[in-house]
Chain A
Amino acid sequence: MRRFAVLAALVALGPGTALADPDPADWPAVLAEARGQVVYWNAWGGAAATNDFIRWAGDEVSARYGVRVEHVKLADTADAVSRVLAEKTAGKDNGGAVDLIWINGPNFRAMKEAGLLFGPWAEDLPNWSYVDVDGKPAVTADFTVPTEGMESPWAMAQVVFYHDTARLPDPPRSMAALLDWASANPGRFTYPQPPDFLGTTFLKQALYGMVEDPSVLQRPVDQADYAAVTAPLWAFLDDLTPHLWRQGRAYPPSGPRQLQLMADGEIDLAISFSPGEASAAIANGQLPDTVRTLVLEGGTIGNASFVAIPYNANAKAGAMVLADFLLSPEAQARAQDPDVLGYGTVLAMDKLSPEDRARFEALDLGIATLSPEELGPALPEPHPSWMSLIEADWGKRFGLAE
């Protein structure tokens, strides 16, 4: 124990000379400090398309600003959260391993509440002026949690369903129709097992179609009658579950495994949080080119993807330069290109110069991707407290089959 104390003291004394944090309001100073830094961007590494985009962004930022970007490919964002948490536990308040995290929703809320984030900085970025703050409330309220400049948006996502027209030409477009179709075609639909975020999203999407006043979902759950609000959801799931793939006795553990089931012909309809996912999978040879995308009547849930900087990041200035580049019209247009990523932009078209706007107008969205008009307005994410309770309840009711 004594040795521990000595070690802790040594560590505390050692690199304890805290450098002043960079101030994004003084952008030239940030650029100067960033030059020569290495930014470790911790981002989910499960999709070759995203990995390619991150490599491209890194090359550009290196060429333009002298900031080197290393993509730390994660299997789960929680790994980066755990890392920062372990560093805080060990008293490593400087020179942390994580410089930038691709993050949103619950992980953001957790890191913000635990004091693990640096900021505010996002709203001082030069390219923030192009962001569609009025038209896309999700860019400043992440799952209703105010971002307060602690994270910077870089892509929009919206719930869609995809189906194979060769097997299912006329897909259901509401939860009630889904139930009817599933009853008539048992075993052909499933969703990832909550608490996988996509599975929980399916539950929230179903709930949206059943509450009379959706605005209750925007407030913390303890301000509403949870049991009454969610009762129709549980009744719906009680009816649906026996008709699910494997009668609801097993679920795919994640979105990608669900896509694999679609590819293997085990299911005919699947949920996705990326409107461009089906097109990308077709281009990859993962799905047949007869797959198409749809949204439900009444709209689907949408949210934004963000990047955040941990409180003890080693290269904060470099991380800000990268985040700013991700907001540039050039990077945003590239991300929206379905051949690259197919992610929706967070920028407002009317704030852009005509040349920049032309970049977006020139894009061809891909055969299975809906246009922004077809996608329709996104429903806001419910407050995270709903998600926690619904997940726990689902676990008790359906997570212990048999």
Chain B
Amino acid sequence: MRPLRGAPLLTLLVLLGPVAAGLVGTLAPALGLFPALGGRALSLAPMAALAAWPGLPGAVMLSVGVGLAATVASLAIVVLFVAGWQGTRAMAGLERALAPLLSVPHAAAAFGLAFLIAPSGWIARALSPWATGWERPPDLLIVQDPLGLAMVAGLVVKEVPFLLLMTLAALPQVRPAQRMGVARALGYGRVTGWLKAVFPAVYAQIRLLVYAVLAYSMSVVDVAIILGPGTPPPLSVQVVRWMADPDLTLRFQAAAGAVLQLALVIGVLALWRLGEAVLGGLGRIWAEGGARRHGDGVLRAAGLGLAVLAAGAVIAGLAGLGLWSMAGLWPFPEAWPEALSTRSWLRHGPGLLAPGLETLWIAGAATVLALALVLACLEAEHRFGLVPGARSLWLLYLPLLVPQVAFLPGLQGFALMLGVDMGRGAVILGHLVFVLPYVFLSLAAPWRAWDMRYASVAAALGAGRGRVFRQVRLPMLLAPVLTAAAVGFAVSVGQYLPTLLIGGGRVQTLTTEAVALAAGGDRRAIAVTALAQTLVGMAGFALALAIPRILWANRRGLRAG
């Protein structure tokens, strides 16, 4: 029993140790301490250098603006869609379609979207020259626009599936059918009723996920490089540029920028909380006003339209990548490649086998470890009646809220000091930091929602606690456990910076391969590696769907999470 009792503490250590060590390692150079580069005394010079960069106001505005816009838009689409379509077939269908989209790497989705909307992209090609008269792509600033609208779109199409699936997972706990039953009986419209009766309870459940989306959108690098503006770029991109500059003295400035990035995230999160309070107050007045309908039909249609548009953009982008992976020359304004061949797959495919195996190893191990820790925590919570406070939940999400660029370089130094770097094992531990929160957040709700009376019955029949766990609860919750594992697996597959920095470049996965090849800019190579990444991630989701169906072929209620 004792080890189980320590599980929550161990889990927090695994998560927070690296984050804390990494933050220290970033803060030191930001304050002028970097002995290998001659920085031996505390100094504000790095901060001053950062403040003197003329692009700073623009970069900060972009980070904040893009982060807020992407989060508000993603949340609004998800809320409108769920409000209008909860419990319908359209919802079930889209849910099926969206789950695999979680395994599409952000960069691949961004590349796909860029190819759709660029002036030389697929949409323009489909309309040229017959409708537009364009023999050459028009000189229009669509991708890399100064306001970052293309970047916002790139983030929204990836965050909508994520938020939607997490919302649907949280929904059963607030018993939406009962709430809606009452609201409808009182004459409320579908959308208005949902917003007034269900949304406040659901939002409380997914609030931390929304914060994670906000933090991610503010500090993302790869999507920003593909779709975002460069004159100036968002702050996170500039930090990475300084870190990559041959002039090593810029490393101080880069660290100061990373600290500012963290401060920005914290500040905007605080702002968001303030907004929650204000909107909550206004919402209460609105709810108490008692109006039954607010253009429900229009809102409902808009919710469906926007959700389908977001999903469609990712799917069309993937289709574009698929075509590129088999294309020969494909000039503007041709809507289809001149010829299709397997040449790119034959050229790049064999080199992906070894990194693919490494990816499976690392993602598998990190997922199993995460699952073990999460199950131990949840079981400890159940057996010892531990009630996780809001504070420990915050801690759990910390690795998702702190920008990677603010703590991973520091973490690398820490791992070096411990001498535990470079191996596959160290990389697995590094991935665990990011996999664990996602596994926890996918599994906690269904695990806690399990009907305790099964445990009572089993205990009455003489089963000990261990046996109840192994033979009743775990088998009954197999579907959600596997879904959580698939989410964790996909998260691990997508990790780039932790793999590179902790593995010292010696551990090569599909993602490190994909990023290195993407630096060469050949769309065919990018398409092949991105699709390989997506397929590996999707395989996890496919297994998570298939295994319960096979194992529980005779137990209808246990087949789906």
* In the assembled complex, A266 has its CB within 8 A of some CB on chain B: yes
B496 to A: closest C-beta gap in Å: 9
Q: CA separation between A193 and B517, bound complex, in Å?
A: 20
Q: CA separation between A285 and B527, bound complex, in Å?
A: 15
Closest A residue to B140 by CB, please name it: A246
Query: Is A42 in contact with B505, judged by CB distance below 8 angstroms?
Result: yes
The residue that A263 contacts in the complex, of B244, B246, B331, B419, with Cβ under 8 A, is B331
Q: Given the known inter-chain contacts A47-B520, A256-B520, please indicate yes or no for A399 contacting B232, CB distance below 8 A.
A: yes
| CB-CB contacts below 8 Å: A76-94 with B | 76, 78-83, 85-92
Query: Is A193 in contact with B246, judged by CB distance below 8 angstroms?
Result: no
* In the assembled complex, B260 has its CB within 8 A of some CB on chain A: no
Known: A167-B136, A288-B331. 7 other contacts (CB 8 A): A80-B505, A88-B36, A109-B246, A195-B245, A245-B139, A395-B55, A402-B146
* A 276-297 to B, binary, CB cutoff 8 A, 1 in contact else 0: 0000000011111000000000
Complex contacts, A254 vs chain B, CB 8 Å: 519, 521
* In the assembled complex, B512 has its CB within 8 A of some CB on chain A: yes
Query: Is B515 in contact with A75, judged by CB distance below 8 angstroms?
Result: yes
Chain A residues in contact with chain B, CB under 8 A? 4, 7-8, 11, 14, 40, 42, 44-48, 51, 70, 72-76, 78-83, 85-92, 97-98, 105-107, 109-110, 114, 167, 186-187, 193, 195, 245-247, 249-251, 253-257, 259-261, 263-266, 284-288, 388, 395-396, 398-402
* In the assembled complex, B35 has its CB within 8 A of some CB on chain A: yes
Q: CA separation between A265 and B124, bound complex, in Å?
A: 13
Complex contacts, B146 vs chain A, CB 8 Å: 249-250, 401-402
Q: Given the known inter-chain contacts A78-B245, A88-B36, A388-B247, please indicate yes or no for A45 contacting B519, CB distance below 8 A.
A: yes
Q: What are 10 residue pairs bridging A and B, where the CB atoms are less than 8 Å apart in the complex?
A: A46-B517, A79-B500, A86-B409, A98-B505, A106-B247, A250-B145, A250-B229, A253-B230, A266-B139, A285-B327
Query: Is A70 in contact with B506, judged by CB distance below 8 angstroms?
Result: yes
B519 to A: closest C-beta gap in Å: 4
Complex contacts, A89 vs chain B, CB 8 Å: 34-36, 413, 416
Q: CA separation between A89 and B29, bound complex, in Å?
A: 11
Q: Given the known inter-chain contacts A90-B416, A246-B141, A402-B231, please indicate yes or no for A264 contacting B332, CB distance below 8 A.
A: yes
Q: Given the known inter-chain contacts A45-B519, A48-B525, A193-B231, please indicate yes or no for A73 contacting B508, CB distance below 8 A.
A: yes
Query: Is B232 in contact with A8, judged by CB distance below 8 angstroms?
Result: no
Query: Is B412 in contact with A399, judged by CB distance below 8 angstroms?
Result: no
Query: Is A40 in contact with B231, judged by CB distance below 8 angstroms?
Result: no
Query: Is A40 in contact with B506, judged by CB distance below 8 angstroms?
Result: yes
Residue picked from A254, A257, A398, A400, most chain B C-beta under 10 Å = A400
Closest A residue to B224 by CB, please name it: A253
Closest A residue to B343 by CB, please name it: A285
The residue that B243 contacts in the complex, of A82, A106, A195, with Cβ under 8 A, is A82
Query: Is B248 in contact with A85, judged by CB distance below 8 angstroms?
Result: yes
Complex contacts, A44 vs chain B, CB 8 Å: 516, 519
Query: Is B518 in contact with A46, judged by CB distance below 8 angstroms?
Result: yes
Q: CA separation between A249 and B139, bound complex, in Å?
A: 11
Q: CA separation between A86 and B421, bound complex, in Å?
A: 12
Query: Is A78 in contact with B520, judged by CB distance below 8 angstroms?
Result: no
Q: CA separation between A284 and B241, bound complex, in Å?
A: 30
B369 to A: closest C-beta gap in Å: 24
Q: Given the known inter-chain contacts A251-B230, A402-B146, please indicate yes or no for A83 contacting B505, CB distance below 8 A.
A: yes
| CB-CB contacts below 8 Å: B226-275 with A | 229-232, 241, 243-248, 251
Q: CA separation between A400 and B53, bound complex, in Å?
A: 11
Complex contacts, A110 vs chain B, CB 8 Å: 246-248
Tally of contact residues, B, Cβ under 8 A: 66
Complex contacts, B118 vs chain A, CB 8 Å: 264
Query: Is A51 in contact with B351, judged by CB distance below 8 angstroms?
Result: yes
Q: CA separation between A74 and B499, bound complex, in Å?
A: 12
Q: Chain A at the B interface: mostly helix, strand, loop or mixed?
A: mixed
* In the assembled complex, B348 has its CB within 8 A of some CB on chain A: yes
Q: Given the known inter-chain contacts A85-B36, A249-B141, A399-B231, please indicate yes or no for A79 contacting B417, CB distance below 8 A.
A: no
Query: Is A399 in contact with B508, judged by CB distance below 8 angstroms?
Result: no
A243 to B: closest C-beta gap in Å: 10
Query: Is B518 in contact with A246, judged by CB distance below 8 angstroms?
Result: no
Complex contacts, A186 vs chain B, CB 8 Å: 139
Complex contacts, B137 vs chain A, CB 8 Å: 264-266
Q: Chain B at the A interface: mostly helix, strand, loop or mixed?
A: loop
Q: CA separation between A245 and B422, bound complex, in Å?
A: 43
The residue that A8 contacts in the complex, of B348, B417, B500, B513, with Cβ under 8 A, is B417
Q: CA separation between A92 and B422, bound complex, in Å?
A: 13
A94 to B: closest C-beta gap in Å: 11
* In the assembled complex, B322 has its CB within 8 A of some CB on chain A: no
Q: Given the known inter-chain contacts A264-B332, A265-B331, please indicate yes or no for A249 contacting B231, CB distance below 8 A.
A: yes
Residue picked from B145, B146, B231, B518, most chain A C-beta under 10 Å = B231
Q: CA separation between A259 and B521, bound complex, in Å?
A: 8
Complex contacts, A83 vs chain B, CB 8 Å: 504-505
B501 to A: closest C-beta gap in Å: 8
Q: CA separation between A73 and B529, bound complex, in Å?
A: 14
User: Lowest 5 CB-CB distances: which A-B pairs, in order?
Assistant: A256-B521, A46-B520, A106-B246, A97-B504, A45-B516
* In the assembled complex, B71 has its CB within 8 A of some CB on chain A: no
Complex contacts, B119 vs chain A, CB 8 Å: 266
The residue that B416 contacts in the complex, of A87, A105, A250, with Cβ under 8 A, is A87
* B 95-119 to A, binary, CB cutoff 8 A, 1 in contact else 0: 0000000000000000000000011
Q: CA separation between A266 and B34, bound complex, in Å?
A: 44
Query: Is B519 in contact with A81, judged by CB distance below 8 angstroms?
Result: no
Complex contacts, A395 vs chain B, CB 8 Å: 54-55
B312 to A: closest C-beta gap in Å: 23
Q: CA separation between A247 and B245, bound complex, in Å?
A: 27
Complex contacts, A72 vs chain B, CB 8 Å: 505-506, 508
Query: Is A74 in contact with B225, judged by CB distance below 8 angstroms?
Result: no
* B 125-168 to A, binary, CB cutoff 8 A, 1 in contact else 0: 00000000000110101001110000000000000000000000
Complex contacts, B145 vs chain A, CB 8 Å: 250
* In the assembled complex, B418 has its CB within 8 A of some CB on chain A: yes
Query: Is A97 in contact with B246, judged by CB distance below 8 angstroms?
Result: no
Q: Given the known inter-chain contacts A11-B417, A14-B419, A51-B351, please indicate yes or no for A76 contacting B519, CB distance below 8 A.
A: yes
* In the assembled complex, B347 has its CB within 8 A of some CB on chain A: yes
Complex contacts, A285 vs chain B, CB 8 Å: 327-329, 343, 524
* In the assembled complex, B309 has its CB within 8 A of some CB on chain A: no
Query: Is B331 in contact with A78, judged by CB distance below 8 angstroms?
Result: no
* In the assembled complex, B523 has its CB within 8 A of some CB on chain A: yes
| CB-CB contacts below 8 Å: B404-434 with A | 409, 412-413, 416-419, 421-422
Closest B residue to A263 by CB, please name it: B331
Query: Is B231 in contact with A251, judged by CB distance below 8 angstroms?
Result: yes
Q: Given the known inter-chain contacts A73-B512, A186-B139, A265-B120, please indicate yes or no for A250 contacting B231, CB distance below 8 A.
A: yes
Q: Given the known inter-chain contacts A44-B519, A264-B332, A396-B54, please indicate yes or no for A86 contacting B243, CB distance below 8 A.
A: no
Query: Is A400 in contact with B244, judged by CB distance below 8 angstroms?
Result: no
Query: Is A11 in contact with B422, judged by CB distance below 8 angstroms?
Result: no
Query: Is B332 in contact with A265, judged by CB distance below 8 angstroms?
Result: yes
B112 to A: closest C-beta gap in Å: 14
* In the assembled complex, B386 has its CB within 8 A of some CB on chain A: no
The residue that A399 contacts in the complex, of B55, B144, B421, with Cβ under 8 A, is B55
* In the assembled complex, B475 has its CB within 8 A of some CB on chain A: no
Q: Given the known inter-chain contacts A46-B520, A187-B139, please indicate yes or no for A7 contacting B243, CB distance below 8 A.
A: no
Q: CA separation between A256 and B522, bound complex, in Å?
A: 7
Query: Is B417 in contact with A266, judged by CB distance below 8 angstroms?
Result: no
Closest B residue to A286 by CB, please name it: B522
Query: Is B331 in contact with A107, judged by CB distance below 8 angstroms?
Result: no
Complex contacts, B519 vs chain A, CB 8 Å: 44-46, 74-76, 254, 256
